[in-house]
Structure 1
Amino acid sequence: MSTPARFQPEADSLDPTDWQAFRELGHRMVDDMADFMAGLRERPVWQPMPAELRAELRQPLPQAPAELAEVYADFQRLVQPYVVGNVHPRFLGWVQGAGNPVGVLAELLAATMNANLGGRDHAPIEVERQVIRWAAEMLGFPLDASGVLVTGTSLANLIAVLVARTRALGRAVRQDGLAGRPLVAYTSTEAHNCVSRAMDMAGFGTAALRLIPCDDDHRMRLDALAEALAADRAAGLQPFLLVGSAGTVDTGAIDPLAGLARVAREQGLWFHVDAAFGALAMLSPEQRPLLAGLDEADSVAFDFHKWAQVPYDAGCIVVRDAAAHAAAFATVPAYLRREARGLAAGQPWPTDFGPDLSRGFRALKVWMTIRTYGADKLGEVIARNCALARRLAARVDAEPELRRVAPVALNVVCFRFEAAGGDLDRFNADLVADLQESGIAVPSTTTIRGQLAVRVALVNHRTRAEDLDLLVDALLAAGRRRAGAA
């Protein structure tokens, strides 16, 4: 076996003196990553990183150069075996997409271009604009809606809160602040914590967010919302924002979006939907009717890196009224002067719609994923995940030792092992940890109506029925061992 050529940088740059050596190692990395993806089922879903390897990673700042092949070998030994595991078909614990092979190559291309998508006139921004048009089309929004790609729905929800704030108080709020004006917002008790954090970061404080109770299907109650609105107006407060959920984090429930849209219109509220993974269900004809009313929202936040299977990170916000969106963010300091021609043309720029000026080429992996697989294929993945969730729910219902604790709205199944005595919350938490540490499967836990539950979220395009059978069989076996040893 021949010794690979060494990677040596030029004396006056970081480029290699030998591009062929760089090419050979790059080809090897691509081959190794293809082998990694092809062999996922033979690997543990997750395994803890040994303490001695953690210690080995904690090195002082390197001063001298190292051979690239050696650095890559350290990656293979110290990093690759101990990742979170969401690419694996039996990673079922959290709503995290699995990525896809095309997205891997897109990341290589984007890194090579190294484009800054804050602004100016170049093709990568046109790619992002096209992605936003596709997103608007998927949501049933007008094609001239604005939008921007961000790290994830947490940041997208913050953007929505700031747009709603500016719409309620005018652009002067960006200079004067809230000045004690008593604005309040509304969402459900099942909403993701990032909505509360967005209110915090936007300067309202979490106390300005009303958490509205839910019904037995974990959907926001319209009657309770009406009562809260009336009480706040009677107290002299100013309601300005209503946030619905399309796919709640605990159970995958979808709020009554059409009803929320009607309330928002009647009350003069900005209607935003946190649809982190649920928005992509619009691509599935079977699931689309569950999202009736999503097309009436003023803004929608979601993640391409969840059900669209785009590699992390690729969040998105789409806003119906582009002028209202830009009013919350646009600013033109001298060094960002816009021109009618040249590289400084092409306005509006993405930085006019969000907080970032330095932005990577996230759009390429989204564009290449959608172009390569097509919306219909992605919709089939979503429909299959939901069908698998229903199948898992039926299996849980058929097992005497298990009890399902929530309805299955989309792709999330919550249940408990109850054939044991003592503290069942602690028992089920230990059971989940047993499965995670075994490497067989990764479910997670959540709390449903005060009880800790095993949570299975189906998002991965690689997951099959046999993977769920392995999960349930392993969970039952571990539960019986624990119950027998108690």
Structure 2
Amino acid sequence: MANPDIPNVPDTESLDPEDWEDFRMRLHRMIDIAVDQMERSHEGRVWTPFPDEIKSLFDLSQTGQSSEQVDTTLQKLLPYGVGNTHPRFFGWVHGSGTPSNLVAEIAAATMNANTGGRNHAAIEVERLVIEWCKGLFSFPDEASGLVMSGTSMATIVAIKAARDARLDFKSRQEGLGGHKLVGYTSTEAHACIARAFDMVGLGTDALRRIPVTADHQIDIELLKKQIHNDREGGFEPFLIAGTCGSVNAGTIDDLMALSDISETEQLWFHIDGAFGALGMLSDRLRHRLADLERADSIAFDFHKWLHVNYDAGCILIRSGDTHLKSFSDRPDYLKSAEHGLAAGGTWPVELGPELSRGFRALKVWAQIAEHGEEKLGRMISRNCEQAAYLGELVEAASDLELLLPVSMQICCFRYVPASASDVDLNSLNEDIVIQLQMSGIAAPSTTRIDGKTAIRVNITNHRTAQSDLDVLVGEVRRIGADLTQSH
């Protein structure tokens, strides 16, 4: 007998559209709007602040809106991204995405697959993407990997695997057990390495940050000395994290020397290759990256220099057995079977922290399948050539100063007026970047090089042309001169 206190919900009600033809037309309209936005990605402002009047439309105090209201609000959101789809977005290291990835995203959203486990097509596609990655870096057949949200999460997986392998996997139950593990990276390394040390219980003090040389590479001699001193002091060195593409300057550590030290000292050799590792596709960079194949783990992003739409990163681990031992834990409700939906061998949840995982691998597969390795590699090479061109423009200008040689795709420089002795150059160059961003002309970022504020121009954008760099340099000089005169 029905309980009168419980509302009667009809069992025919769902969240599906009541009229599928009407929904089909709705989706077509939104696709047209999206494609129009993508087609115009090179036009207008690079970045525009999010207006309060549009922000207020996303206030969820009023729900149950009509589909027309929702779609109108979504359309109004589109111009207010971070700007990385525009060819003059030069800040940080963001990929610019591709319209073709929209097709893969629609297919993935339609499947709505959870790729944490079980026996289904999405997991097989991810395994094939990982096989491609293993081939790219000449990793052995027994290596394993996962498509992840990005290098930050991938680094956590790598550091945990390295920690567990050093402690014979007892750390999974017992913790560090009094072991004083320490690892090594450069002062130019990405912060995600220190965060991983924190998150796997090692603590950030366990990460020794080795100074860099004048070329912004980890100082090999200082590294050797620190390892020796740590062993003498009762610490247990277990890992070296090399950088393949530093955030500040795009530099690459001496990977051969680091791999030799790791081998001699019996340390895990990890490489942060967030954007630089995929330089393996580039004829211009490949010879500089040969020692990637000697790494025990590589973390990198597809959403940077492969231009896959956010988000998509990857972890590769040389020893698939170590990888599995570091994460595998199959409770009864996730037990495997020989046949059926619970079959399929090793599940991704046994190789990382997530059981709930989206089908990121499909857009990665689609990007590689459609555009091909050679074309993707050419886009990488072109960005490096453009950064070198920007460096030449800077060196040719009397009021600009190149702060570091261009290594890959990053150029760091500053505006230096003739009256430099009377001007706070750090403050001036900060103001130049802010004005570039606020005006919508371009969006570089800033960093510090040897205490000097640099206008940092990163080019990981398949839409950027040399003319965009001409515009940037002209505007930096114009804004710099105006600010100098106004002081």
Q: Normalising to structure 2: TM-score of the pair? A: 0.96
2:414 to 410, 413, 416: 416
Structure 1 stretch 414-423 or stretch 446-455: which is displaced more? 414-423
Name the structure 1 match of 2:53. 52
**Deviation for aligned residue 1:54:** 2.7
Asked whether 1:75 is paired with 2:74, we answer yes
Query: Which residues of 2 match residues 148-167 of structure 1 at below 5 A?
Result: 148-167=146-165
- CA distance in structure 2 between the aligned counterparts of 1:241 and 1:393, rounded to whole angstroms: 35
Superimposed CA distance per residue, residues 75-122 of structure 1 (whole angstroms, 9 cap, x where no aligned partner)? 122x21211011111101111001111111111110010000001111
- Contact 1:242–1:271 (CA under 8 A) maintained in structure 2: yes
- Contact 1:133–1:144 (CA under 8 A) maintained in structure 2: no
- CA distance in structure 1 between the aligned counterparts of 2:455 and 2:258, rounded to whole angstroms: 30
Asked whether 1:122 is paired with 2:120, we answer yes
Asked whether 1:30 is paired with 2:28, we answer no
- CA distance in structure 2 between the aligned counterparts of 1:251 and 1:205, rounded to whole angstroms: 27
**Deviation for aligned residue 1:69:** 2.0
Name the structure 1 match of 2:143. 145
1:230 to 214, 228, 243: 228
Name the structure 2 match of 1:110. 108
2:375 to 377, 385, 402: 377
- Contact 2:281–2:376 (CA under 8 A) maintained in structure 1: yes
**Deviation for aligned residue 1:11:** 5.6
Asked whether 1:206 is paired with 2:207, we answer no
Query: Which residues of 2 match residues 326-475 of structure 1 at below 5 A?
Result: 326-419=324-417, 420=420, 421-475=422-476
Asked whether 1:14 is paired with 2:12, we answer no
- CA distance in structure 1 between the aligned counterparts of 2:160 and 2:383, rounded to whole angstroms: 34
**Deviation for aligned residue 1:292:** 2.8
Name the structure 1 match of 2:97. 99
Structure 1 stretch 205-214 or stretch 135-144: which is displaced more? 135-144
Q: Which amino acid aligns with 2:114?
A: N
Superimposed CA distance per residue, residues 373-403 of structure 1 (whole angstroms, 9 cap, x where no aligned partner)? 0111100000000000000000001111110
Query: Which residues of 2 match residues 234-253 of structure 1 at below 5 A?
Result: 234-253=232-251
- CA distance in structure 2 between the aligned counterparts of 1:292 and 1:408, rounded to whole angstroms: 20
Q: Normalising to structure 1: TM-score of the pair? A: 0.96
**Deviation for aligned residue 1:173:** 0.7
- Contact 1:47–1:437 (CA under 8 A) maintained in structure 2: yes
**Deviation for aligned residue 1:61:** 5.9
Q: Which amino acid aligns with 1:72?
A: D
Paired residue secondary structure (2:228):
helix
- Contact 2:259–2:294 (CA under 8 A) maintained in structure 1: yes
Name the structure 1 match of 2:291. 293
- Contact 1:106–1:365 (CA under 8 A) maintained in structure 2: yes
**Deviation for aligned residue 1:60:** 1.8
- Contact 1:96–1:306 (CA under 8 A) maintained in structure 2: yes
| Identity of matched residues, % | 48
- CA distance in structure 1 between the aligned counterparts of 2:165 and 2:142, rounded to whole angstroms: 19
Name the structure 2 match of 1:3. none
- CA distance in structure 1 between the aligned counterparts of 2:257 and 2:172, rounded to whole angstroms: 32
- Contact 2:43–2:86 (CA under 8 A) maintained in structure 1: no
Name the structure 2 match of 1:482. 483
Paired residue secondary structure (1:292):
helix
After superposition, the Cα gap between the structure-2 partners of 1:61 and 1:204, relative to the gap in structure 1 and judged at 3 Å, is farther
Superposed structure 1 runs of 4+ greater than 3 Å apart: none
Paired residue secondary structure (2:42):
helix
After superposition, the Cα gap between the structure-2 partners of 1:61 and 1:229, relative to the gap in structure 1 and judged at 3 Å, is farther
Superimposed CA distance per residue, residues 326-364 of structure 1 (whole angstroms, 9 cap, x where no aligned partner)? 111000100000011111000101111100000000000
Q: Structure 2: give runs of 5+ residues left out of the alignment.
A: 1-10
- Contact 2:116–2:348 (CA under 8 A) maintained in structure 1: yes
Name the structure 1 match of 2:3. none
- CA distance in structure 2 between the aligned counterparts of 1:193 and 1:42, rounded to whole angstroms: 34
- Contact 1:167–1:324 (CA under 8 A) maintained in structure 2: yes
- Contact 1:156–1:317 (CA under 8 A) maintained in structure 2: yes
2:129 to 108, 120, 131: 131
**Deviation for aligned residue 1:53:** 2.9
Paired residue secondary structure (2:433):
helix
Name the structure 2 match of 1:6. none
**Deviation for aligned residue 1:57:** 2.7
- CA distance in structure 2 between the aligned counterparts of 1:52 and 1:123, rounded to whole angstroms: 44
Asked whether 1:42 is paired with 2:40, we answer no
- CA distance in structure 2 between the aligned counterparts of 1:262 and 1:61, rounded to whole angstroms: 61
**Deviation for aligned residue 1:422:** 2.1
Name the structure 2 match of 1:5. none
2:170 to 166, 172, 175: 172
- CA distance in structure 2 between the aligned counterparts of 1:55 and 1:358, rounded to whole angstroms: 31
- CA distance in structure 2 between the aligned counterparts of 1:18 and 1:60, rounded to whole angstroms: 27
- CA distance in structure 2 between the aligned counterparts of 1:56 and 1:167, rounded to whole angstroms: 51
- CA distance in structure 2 between the aligned counterparts of 1:232 and 1:148, rounded to whole angstroms: 33
- Contact 2:299–2:314 (CA under 8 A) maintained in structure 1: yes
- CA distance in structure 2 between the aligned counterparts of 1:369 and 1:188, rounded to whole angstroms: 33
Q: Which amino acid aligns with 1:446?
A: T
Q: Which amino acid aligns with 1:369?
A: Q
**Deviation for aligned residue 1:440:** 1.0
Structure 1 stretch 44-53 or stretch 185-194: which is displaced more? 44-53
- CA distance in structure 1 between the aligned counterparts of 2:69 and 2:59, rounded to whole angstroms: 17
Q: Which amino acid aligns with 1:116?
A: N
Q: Which amino acid aligns with 1:173?
A: S
Q: Which amino acid aligns with 2:141?
A: L
Paired residue secondary structure (2:327):
coil
Paired residue secondary structure (1:266):
helix
